[in-house]
Amino acid sequence: MERYRVKVYKKGIIVIPKEVRESIGIKEGDIVELIVDGDKVRIEKPKTLLDLFGIDGDKAVEVAKAIVEERRKEVEREVRT
């Protein structure tokens, strides 16, 4: 386990060291989660749909979007009747 010290700036802003960002794949604009456990805080990068779908991620996301769109159309039809 590695340990890093970072400074807390105004409004609680901290900078995640480059080597940490690179090691867990955090890029500008990504969302991270802060998990508070007593007096400890852990930073995690949540899994995305692409991460969860693995190698077929792009195709799986297309399928998921199609399912959501079809369900939206079903709801619209139900509301109209």
Tens of pLDDT along 54-63? 666 677 778 8
Instruction: Kindly give the residue spans of alpha helices, DSSP state H, lying in 1-81.
Output: 18-24, 49-53, 57-80
Mean of the pLDDT values across residues 67-80? 90
Phi, psi of 56 (to 5 degrees): -95, 25
Task: Quote the DSSP letter at residue 54.
Answer: G
Is 0.95 surpassed by the pTM of this model? no
